[in-house]
Chains A and B, each alone.
Chain A
């Protein structure tokens, strides 16, 4: 079945540390992948999207993700975490106009 799998429902990092949120996709998933962020009591916001162009995708707020076909991965990274990055992050793919979301990873930032 088509899917994306987010490894780790909760990730905690120290402020200033590297952020790495993992996402693996099944090989049958169309190669159109997204990362969305959901801040508390706010709507989902698109961080970045991959649409078969450059494999390294840069998004907002200093985040980036690399599409690795050989590893079927689309991990999200940020070199230095800020307190404001604390939120829920969703990996997703597009299928026939609708978006299919992973189960999410909650990112906590330690002072």
Chain B
């Protein structure tokens, strides 16, 4: 399986609700990262997982949490949604192989709108 697939592509939630975004990475990509991209801005790092363990976190509150599974899928969970959480959420994965180009493969993103 190639590429990174994210679901859903679009989502509308109400303030205070909880949301789960999903990502399916390429086989063999043990590193997965999640980013938040507000309109007109560059992506901001939320957190990173390596072999199912969180190994890096950006400046996001604890209500942003994640999981990585052995089948190269992962989730981003956001509790108590706020209006400012409206953004494009991007999942990215990378291989450990030194033969790779070192870059991340990004999914097409989930557009979350909080109303």
A and B assemble together: no
Question: Which A residues are within 8 Å of any B CB, using their own CB?
Answer: none
Question: Which B residues are within 8 Å of any A CB, using their own CB?
Answer: none
